């Protein structure tokens, strides 16, 4: 069930809110759990048992890890919990990728498993792993109530698309949290704005990208416009969903951490990844990069650590070589920046360092979205005039005129300027106008959804 759907907005969510706020606090977690399981069942009924089983296995290992903490048994049970979680993820997400590559290398013909990727498995697997690791480290108390841990794992606002909420972040709020009109108002505002980002901007940019793939008049400019449009589409798609998750969490009394912080204003790849998908970046940093030694080892080992972390980051996004290469692509730039380029960028004019960031990121997302490596090479080559395609065509200019306003709005919306303007408006005593504006925005979004517009969600792929 998509947040950006009529069934969620006008059936599921209102019922959840009415029931949730009608019951006493002791029953609120149970209400969230039941509705979260219904939410997941609606989108993937075949794998609801897998979700529940994964959470309960994590709960069991948490108890064993806590019981044998400081002894060999604690480490053994931690390893078994990680093997269990990664094993399930590997079977459902990477088995066919491994079989396909084995067949290609050895000329074999092993049949593919044909397993369907369970929705949200990459996110909830990492959440379960963070729980067991934090219990082992002593960064979180063991949860003795299996239903409470299952509520954490299955919590519908962040279940299918993150952000990756660590147990330690909301550990206290699972037991005791505050509900207030201020939190609910902020949550509703954040949700509606995220919904608008997803439906009105990301979806429209997706339509532009679809038109690009259908064109029979390619041009260099059209390829660059596509790269810009797709990069902005995935940003508004995922950051919009994160906004909706954070907003829903606040309504229910949870404080999820931010997941995006205007990444396109960065001046280096290092800064970009401190601002993009923050919950994933910090997860790999805290649970893989630092345990591997981080930058506290010999230089060659440090560089290997970076390469391993980023290739796995790419692989986390999907079982395909273009994702592995996407991670390796960023690893190369991060290594170069740490060796010498970072200091050069600091001394360069901001416009130069920002242009470097934008071009590097645009090329990365062309690789990210390529269905095959051949398509990736073709797309990037065409961006620089390979194949003798013209710089511009009449069709390119037509689509540029048609989508110019959208592109400008998306570019501005990807910077802090839009937030600054909203804050300036709030200073002008608009207590009544702000809710009315949000209501009007919700009506516009609803009209778009009722009309049956283009409404995919890119991160369902991952």
**448 shares a domain with 359:** yes
| Residue labelled with tokens 């290469």 | 325
Per the CB < 8 A criterion, the answer to whether 158 and 256 are in contact is: yes
Residues above pLDDT 70, as percent of the chain: 95
CA angle 244, 245, 249 (to 5 degrees): 115
CA-wise closest residue to 319 among 159, 462, 116, 119: 462
Which of 406 and 422 is assigned the larger pLDDT? 406
Q: How confident is the model at residue 245 (pLDDT cuts 50, 70, 90)?
A: very high
Residues above pLDDT 90, as percent of the chain: 81
What is the per-residue pLDDT for 283? 96
Round to whole Å and give the CA distance between 44 and 156.
13
Q: How confident is the model at residue 458 (pLDDT cuts 50, 70, 90)?
A: low
CA-wise closest residue to 165 among 65, 259, 268, 102: 259
Round to whole Å and give the CA distance between 281 and 245.
18
Domain stops at, among 162, 177, 192: 177
Say if 1 falls within a structural domain.
Answer: no
Show the beta-strand stretches assigned E in 118-226. none
Domain stops at, among 149, 177, 205: 177
Say if 286 falls within a structural domain.
Answer: yes
Say if 15 falls within a structural domain.
Answer: yes
Q: How confident is the model at residue 430 (pLDDT cuts 50, 70, 90)?
A: low
**167 shares a domain with 279:** no
What is the per-residue pLDDT for 418? 79
**386 shares a domain with 360:** yes
Q: How confident is the model at residue 457 (pLDDT cuts 50, 70, 90)?
A: low
**250 shares a domain with 216:** yes
CA-wise closest residue to 215 among 390, 14, 83, 68: 390
Q: What would the two tokens of residue 8 be? A: 């969620």
Domain stops at, among 118, 150, 177: 177
For 172-222, give the DSSP string. HHHH-----HHHHHHHHHHHHHHHHIIIIIIHHHHHHHHHHHH-SS--HHH
Q: How confident is the model at residue 437 (pLDDT cuts 50, 70, 90)?
A: confident
**33 shares a domain with 158:** yes
Burial class (CB in 10 A: 0-12, 13-18, 19+), 451: exposed
**299 shares a domain with 405:** yes
**257 shares a domain with 117:** no
Per the CB < 8 A criterion, the answer to whether 210 and 454 are in contact is: yes
Which of 207 and 428 is assigned the larger pLDDT? 207
- Residue 317 is among the residues annotated as catalytic for this protein: yes
**93 shares a domain with 203:** no
Q: What would the two tokens of residue 10 be? A: 């006008």
Say if 433 falls within a structural domain.
Answer: yes
pLDDT for 453 beyond 80: no
What is the per-residue pLDDT for 16? 97
Say if 68 falls within a structural domain.
Answer: yes
pLDDT for 394 beyond 70: yes
Average pLDDT over residues 143-151: 96
Say if 265 falls within a structural domain.
Answer: yes
Show the beta-strand stretches assigned E in 185-300. none
What is the per-residue pLDDT for 165? 95
Say if 191 falls within a structural domain.
Answer: yes
Q: Over the stretch 298-319, which tens digit does the pLDDT of each residue have?
A: 999 999 999 999 999 999 998 8
Q: Over the stretch 2-31, which tens digit does the pLDDT of each residue have?
A: 888 999 999 999 999 999 999 999 999 999
Domain span holding position 140: 6-177
**187 shares a domain with 173:** no
What is the per-residue pLDDT for 372? 86
Q: Over the stretch 103-123, which tens digit does the pLDDT of each residue have?
A: 999 999 899 988 888 989 999
Q: What would the two tokens of residue 3 be? A: 């947040």
**197 shares a domain with 156:** no
What is the per-residue pLDDT for 420? 80
Q: Over the stretch 34-72, which tens digit does the pLDDT of each residue have?
A: 999 999 998 778 899 999 999 999 999 999 999 998 899
pLDDT for 371 beyond 90: no
What is the per-residue pLDDT for 45? 81
Say if 210 falls within a structural domain.
Answer: yes
**219 shares a domain with 134:** no
Peptide bond into 163 cis (omega under 30): yes
**216 shares a domain with 267:** yes
Count structural domains, the chain.
Answer: 2
Average pLDDT over residues 200-218: 92
Catalytic residue among 255, 277, 317, 354: 317
For the chain, the average pLDDT equals: 92
pLDDT for 429 beyond 60: no
pLDDT for 452 beyond 90: no
Q: How confident is the model at residue 454 (pLDDT cuts 50, 70, 90)?
A: low
pTM of the model: 0.93
């Amino acid at each position: 069930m998509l947040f950006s759907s009529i069934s969620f907005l006008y059936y599921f969510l209102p019922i959840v809110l009415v029931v949730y706020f009608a019951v006493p606090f002791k029953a609120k977690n149970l209400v969230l759990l039941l509705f979260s399981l219904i939410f997941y069942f609606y989108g993937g009924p075949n794998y609801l048992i897998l979700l529940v089983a994964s959470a309960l296995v994590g709960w069991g290992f948490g108890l064993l890890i806590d019981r044998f903490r400081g002894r060999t048994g604690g480490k053994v049970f931690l390893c078994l919990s990680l093997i269990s979680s990664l094993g399930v993820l590997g079977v459902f997400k990477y088995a066919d990728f491994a079989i396909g590559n084995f067949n290609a290398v050895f000329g074999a013909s092993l049949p593919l498993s044909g397993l369907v990727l369970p929705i949200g498995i990459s996110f909830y697997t990492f959440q379960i792993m963070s729980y067991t690791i934090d219990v082992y480290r002593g960064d979180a108390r063991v949860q003795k109530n299996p239903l409470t841990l299952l509520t954490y794992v299955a919590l519908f606002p962040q279940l299918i698309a993150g952000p990756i909420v660590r147990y330690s972040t909301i550990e206290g709020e699972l037991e005791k949290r505050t509900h207030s009109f201020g939190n609910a108002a902020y949550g509703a505002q954040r949700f509606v704005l995220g919904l608008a980002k997803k439906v009105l901007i990301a979806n429209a940019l997706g339509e532009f990208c679809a038109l690009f793939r259908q064109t029979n008049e390619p041009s260099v400019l059209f390829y660059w416009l596509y790269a810009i449009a797709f990069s902005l589409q995935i940003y508004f798609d995922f950051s919009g969903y994160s906004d909706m998750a954070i907003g829903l969490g606040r309504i229910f009394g949870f404080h999820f951490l931010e997941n995006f912080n205007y990444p396109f204003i960065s001046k280096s790849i290092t800064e970009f990844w401190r601002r993009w998908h923050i919950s994933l970046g910090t997860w790999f940093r805290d649970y893989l990069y630092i345990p591997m030694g981080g930058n506290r080892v010999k230089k060659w080992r440090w560089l290997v650590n970076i390469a391993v972390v980023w290739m796995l980051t790419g692989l986390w996004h999907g079982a395909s070589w273009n994702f592995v290469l996407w991670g390796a692509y960023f690893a190369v730039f991060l290594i170069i920046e740490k060796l010498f380029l970072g200091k050069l960028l600091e001394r360069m004019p901001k416009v130069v360092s920002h242009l470097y960031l934008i071009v590097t990121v645009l090329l990365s997302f062309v690789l990210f979205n390529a269905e095959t490596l051949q398509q990736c090479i073709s797309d990037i080559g065409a961006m620089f005039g390979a194949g003798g395609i013209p710089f511009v065509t009449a069709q390119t200019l037509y689509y540029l005129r048609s989508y110019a306003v959208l592109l400008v709005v998306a570019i501005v919306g990807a910077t802090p300027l839009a937030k600054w303007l909203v804050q300036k408006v709030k200073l002008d005593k608009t207590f009544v106008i702000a809710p009315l504006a949000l209501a009007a925005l919700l009506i516009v979004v609803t009209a778009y959804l009722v009309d049956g517009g283009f409404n995919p969600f890119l991160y369902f792929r991952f």
